[in-house]
Amino acid sequence: MKSKHIIRILYPLTFFYWIIVFCKNIFYKYGIFSSQKLPCSVISVGNLTLGGTGKTILVIYLAKLLQKKNKKVAILTRGYGRKKRGHFLVTDGQSTLKNINANHCGDEPFLMAKVLKETPIMIDKNRYRGGLNLVKKFQPDVIILDDGFQHQSIFRDLDIVLINAQDRQVDHKILPVGLLREPWKNINRSDLIILTKHNLRSDNSYLLKKLKNTNKTILKAHLSSQLSILCNRSQLEFNELIEEPAFVFAGIGDTKSLIRSTVNLGVKISGTKFFKDHHLYNKTDLKDVCRAARVIDAKYLLTTEKDWVKIENFTIDLPIVILSARFKIDSKNQLNKLIEQKIN
């Protein structure tokens, strides 16, 4: 939590940032800027706060859901944390991922490409240009716009905003004092609000009361997690290994959910080390992690699926257990009905 002294210093920056956001939204509202429509349906998945709401998990969920409905799906994303510049195709949904890795395209697009093996994924900061390229090459029925709420240059048929159920009142202030990327009232642009990680917060009465005043459709998403071992350098079997103390490390936006999920699964956490969101690991980072784990006699490392795709080609001395996360949506029928109304 930021100190009062730091908050005072940040308030002028918050005001300057608010002016920029306000002007941009006014320009779109009164037609000075316009949203361009693609020749296919678009579903936007976004948020109001910085990271940690589970956008990638929901994009994967929606892609699978739409594919079960026999829809051709493509994904358009920005690729945060990537080294490779410009706009490019991560995967055509058919070829193997031999010539690209998480460092090139970013951890989230690479993870989506590994999970959604038959789905074209395009990276482009210019969302409309990227959408046109996807339409030209793949003729999708639906494009899922990853992290699209603030990018109003492209028209969307369904606008979904995710809110982390673990958000505190202090988080809901404009950047950089709080975590809001734009004022809370702008949530009214959305068609659907999903309160994510609802099962990890015992008391979210503050958020529920605030959301009720929006008069929007609100669904709740429970975070379902499971453990798997991907690199076992131990003589112990998996069930024996997870009984031992673990050292947790990650570079994600919501470390609180990681800790709560691992504790709920019965993991004994003996130590942690966290990096900034989308951190690109190097050999030194992983040596430091292993060294810290050995100092406290941790028997294995635990990290997220999103982190694993960035370190899978490194040689690591300790066993590694991966936490995979997926959403279970309450009122799934309501979500299906809304998608059918908006997409068809």
Residue 310: CATH number of its domain:
3.40.50
Question: Taking CA 264 as the corner, what is the angle to CA 259 and CA 266, rounded to the nearest 5 degrees?
Answer: 100
Q: What local confidence, expressed as pLDDT, does residue 321 receive?
A: 94
Cis peptide before 176 (omega within 30 of 0): yes
Q: What is the pLDDT at residue 230?
A: 74
Identify whether residues 35 and 127 lie together within a single domain: yes
Cα separation, 306 vs 252, whole angstroms: 8
Neighbours of 144 (CB within 10 A): 29
* Whether residues 307 and 180 fall in one domain: no
Does residue 229 share a domain with residue 215?
no
| C-alpha span between 294 and 292 (Å, rounded) | 6
Residues 120 and 161 occupy one common structural domain: yes
Res 1: pLDDT: 57
Query: 17: how many CB neighbours lie within 10 A of its CB?
Result: 18
Q: Domain containing 137: what range?
A: 4-222+328-343
The closest of 282, 340, 291, 343 to 318, measured between CA atoms, is: 291
> Residues 178, 228: one domain?
no
| The predicted structure's pLDDT at residue 82 | 87
Strand partners, 194: 162, 219
Model pLDDT, residue 83:
79
Q: Are residues 162 and 248 in the same domain?
A: no
In a shared domain, residues 236 and 306? yes
Low-confidence ranges of the chain (pLDDT < 70): 1-5, 98, 232-235, 344
Do 199 and 312 lie in a common domain? no
Q: Which residues of 328-337 are buried (b: 16+ CB within 10 A; e: fewer)?
A: ebeeeeebee
What is the per-residue pLDDT across 266-305, written as a single tens digit (0 to 9) for each? 999 999 999 999 999 999 999 999 999 999 999 999 999 9
* CB neighbour list of residue 116: distance below 8 Å, 6 or more residues apart: 60, 63, 64, 75, 93
Tell me the C-alpha distance between 163 and 178, whole Å: 14
Supply the CATH number for residue 333's domain: 3.40.50.300
Residues 156 and 284 in one domain: no
Examine the domain organization and report whether 125 and 66 are in the same domain.
yes
**pTM > 0.85: yes or no:** yes
Q: Determine contact, residues 331/219, Cβ cutoff 8 Å.
A: yes
Reference 55, options 169, 216, 163; nearest CA is 163
In this structure, what token pair is assigned to residue 66? 């739409």
Do residues 13 and 107 share a domain?
Answer: yes
Amino acid at 205: S
How many domains is the chain partitioned into structurally?
2
Which among 289, 286, 260, 285 is positioned nearest to 272, based on CA atoms?
A: 289
Does 257 lie in the same domain as 136?
A: no
Secondary structure string (H, E, C) spanning the chain:
CCCHHHHHHHHHHHHHHHHHHHHHHHHHHCCCCCCECCCCEEEEEEECECCCCCHHHHHHHHHHHHHHCCCCEEEEECCCCCCCCCCEEEECCCCCCCCCCHHHHCHHHHHHHHHCCCCCEEECCCHHHHHHHHHHHHCCCEEEEECCCCCCCECCCEEEEEEECCCCHHHCCECCCCCECCCHHHHHHCCEEEEECHHHCCCCHHHHHHHHCCCCEEEEEEEEEEEEEEECCCCCCHHHHCCCEEEEEECCCCHHHHHHHHHHCCCEEEEEEECCCCCCCCHHHHHHHHHHHHHCCCCEEEEEHHHHHHHCCCCCCCCEEEEEEEEEECCHHHHHHHHHHHHC
